[in-house]
Structures are given as C-alpha cells and as structure tokens.
Amino acid sequence: MDFEDTDPRRIRSLAVTTDDVVAAYEARQRSARRTVLRANPPLSGRMRARLHVADAEVEETDAIHLDPARLVSSDVPAYPSPDDTEDALRADPDAEFSVERHRERHVAAVEAWREAVASSVVESVELRVGDETHAVEIKTLG
C-alpha cells in the first residue's frame, strides 16, 4: 500500500450505522474496553467505519480509529445507572417500589438513552493529520 492509500485527507465522508455508534458509545460508558469506529485502508473519498474493539496492545496500523464520543453531540445525557433509576422510582409517589418494577424502569431508561444517542450523531468530525485537521462528513445508515 502506498502513502496515498493511507492518507486520511482522501476521505470526504464516513458512513456509520447508527446502531454501531450507539453500541460503541455504550460500550465505552460501561467498560474500559477500547471500542471504536474503524475505517480500514485503502482510504478513499467515501469510507465505511465499523464497530471495532481495539486490542489492549497498540498495533501498527493505518486504520482510522474514532472514539464514539466524537460522533455524538456533547449534550447526550449520562448513561443511566441502576442507582439513579432506583432513586427516581422511589421518589415517584405514584409507583410502589419492587425489584421487577425497578428492572423494567431501568430497561426503559437505557432504551431512552440509546434513542437519545442515536438522534445526536454529529454531521462532521475533524481528523487529525499531522499538525493539521481535516473535516469529514458523517453519513448515518439505518
């Protein structure tokens, strides 16, 4: 592969599935695993970035790894914790606490969070290329 095949400045747009962005962002919120969206060379004007869990050891690669936090707007709410869900349920005067109701409310809170993340995918990102940056459009699929 020559330099042109690995030059990020060739990329005009990155296509990502909304589900991959949500899954990668959620994985980063819930664990220390380095989950990213990855575009593999040869690089061209339109690229596809897919869900990828990067190895603990850094490999020499020309692939582009994007932290999913860069692909969502900064106003995404925090990932709901079971404790927060329990507190909200106990504070609700119209609901009696039970383990089953807590589980149902937490599942609903996580689903609402996922929908919020899915609807907040940004329209572009800046890729670092040496000492410069290069703007790339984000195109969502699905």
Range of the domain at 110: 77-119
pLDDT at residue number 9: 92
Q: How far apart are the first and last CA of the chain?
A: 32
Return the H-helix or E-strand segment holding 110.
Answer: helix 99-118
pLDDT of residue 2: 57
- Are 113 and 45 members of one domain? no
Q: Cα–Cα distance between 106 and 92 in angstroms, integer?
A: 14
Query: Does one domain contain both 2 and 58?
Result: yes
Domain tally, the chain: 2
Q: Are residues 67 and 128 in the same domain?
A: yes
| Spatial distance between the Cα atoms of 46 and 73, rounded to a whole number of angstroms | 22
Verify that 61 and 92 share a domain, yes or no.
no
82 and 13 part of one domain: no
Same domain assignment for residues 6 and 53: yes
Query: What does the pLDDT look like over 4-47, one tens digit per residue?
Result: 688 899 999 999 999 999 999 999 999 988 899 999 999 999 99
Other C-beta atoms within 10 Å of 114: how many?
17
Model confidence band, residue 119 (pLDDT cutoffs 50, 70, 90): very high
Would you state the pLDDT for residue 91?
94
Element of type H or E holding 46: strand 46-48
* Domain match, 6 and 66 both: yes
Q: Tell me the pLDDT tens digit for each residue of 47-88.
A: 999 999 987 555 567 889 999 999 999 999 999 999 999 999
Same domain assignment for residues 15 and 51: yes
- Higher-pLDDT residue of 62 and 133 is 133
